[in-house]
Amino acid sequence: MVEPASSGGATLIGVAAEMGLRVVVASADSGDRRLSDAVRGAAESVLTVETNDQSALEAAVLELHRQEPFEAVLPGSDIYVSATARVAAALGLPGLPVESVDRVRDKSVMRAAVAEAGLRTPRFAQATTEDELRTAAEHVGFPCVMKPVACSGSIHVSRADDMRQLAAAFQRLVTDPVPDMGQLHEHRVLVEEYVEGPEFSADGYVLDSGEVKVVALTRTLLGPEPDFMEMGHLTPAQVDDATLAAVETYVCDVVRAVGVTSGPFHCELRIAADGPVLIEIGARLPGDRIVELLRLVTGVSLPKVAIAAGLGIGFEEAGVFTEPEAKSAGIRFFAAEGRSSYRELTGWQEMAALPEVTETSVYFAPGETIPGVEDCRSRLGHALFTADSPQGALDRWQALGDLVVPN
């Protein structure tokens, strides 16, 4: 497994260990790629290598493969989907097609593939300089959204209502000294049409036959714009049957357009007045503990889907399907609200003791410095919960936010 740094990657390695699989983790194991104790404990061994150097990664894995062959190679985070596909190809193991894998990582290539398939996608243009940024804005119009072509976690994704705001967002990106998975932020961005409408994610998988299955539609709850910090997810989304059918058809078409041939996918979209519109799609597990929301509500384990696809075994053998445990489930994230630190989280203990709250985690200790950014890197923690209905889940999400206050 290559760099299981995301929540999805950490879950994946834990599930693999529970299944009795022996897992080797390839990781730089330093900086923001430092492995957690949980991942280190679940892995049989750690292959320390610069995972941002494709040649070094392939050489190190091939050397181990000659000693004791691997049966599967899986990505531990979105950023390493392309690298993992290339390692799998070098080992002669199943994986995403190398010739098309960049469609699910490079947002510019992704947008072009979806548009070429005749599917609704925002107007967009690529830029790497302020002059190109201005030209892109003239093509797209305002309001628009600027996003890096290869980041994850909504990092440096920003709405702009005029050129001044767009240029300021670009400057924040190019001057950001904090690396993302060991890499400084690439200056290549997309400027794209701002799409009005609620946000969702559709998660599912592709069978060997090519059939695309959407497991569930999840509502995404965002913080205030111009940033797009994800503050919660609710499964299943509260939409009517006609909307759900339209989304499923659209998502299946997007999956085929970008060339996801096996394993799980995570598709983010907005539902505009004229129907669903792609934000982005990844050939990977969702983050933010959405895999657990799906398991609770549908009984489907997407981590086991990924493992089954990698090993070439059946879903029944992998134990993908179990009985649902809840009618609805959600996750609430808590924000720093502009603070650089906090003394205490008032209401946290009371919240954690609620019977419907099944999991809690705090990311920053009292007094610890919180990054001064408005994306996932500055969230304080989360609470995962169940509910009896989609509306009940939304009400609970709001109530938990009212209960927990950083001081």
- What does the alpha-carbon distance between residue 227 and residue 207 come to, in Å, rounded to a whole number? 36
Task: Give the right CATH number for 196-325 from 3.50.50.60, 3.30.200.20, 3.40.50.2300, 3.30.470.20.
Answer: 3.30.470.20
pLDDT of amino acid 153: 66
Residues of the chain where predicted confidence (pLDDT) is lower than 70 = 153
Structure token digits, residue 183: 């890499």
Fold type of domain 327-407: D-amino Acid Aminotransferase; Chain A, domain 1 (3.30.470)
Residue 303 phi/psi, 5° resolution?
-60, -40
Q: Is 312 left (phi over 0), alpha (psi -120 to 50) or beta?
A: left
Annotated domain spans of the chain: 7-93, 123-193, 196-325, 327-407
- Closest alpha carbon to 293 in 271, 285, 349: 285
Residue 256 exposure: Cα atoms within 13 Å on the Cβ side: 13
pLDDT of amino acid 85: 96
For the structural domain made of 123-193, what CATH number should be given? 3.30.1490.20
Q: What is the pLDDT of residues 286-313, one digit of tens each?
A: 999 999 999 999 999 999 999 999 999 9
Task: Confirm whether 196-325 and 327-407 share one CATH topology.
Answer: yes
pLDDT of amino acid 2: 96
pLDDT of amino acid 121: 95
- What does the alpha-carbon distance between residue 290 and residue 293 come to, in Å, rounded to a whole number? 5
- What does the alpha-carbon distance between residue 97 and residue 38 come to, in Å, rounded to a whole number? 31
Please check whether the domain covering 7-93 is classified as CATH 3.40.50.
Answer: yes
Q: Are strands 24-27 and 45-48 parallel, antiparallel or unpaired?
A: parallel
- R_g of the chain computed on alpha carbons: 21
pLDDT of amino acid 273: 94
Q: What is the pLDDT of residues 65-76, one digit of tens each?
A: 999 999 999 999
Cα angle 11-12-18, degrees, rounded to a multiple of 5: 90
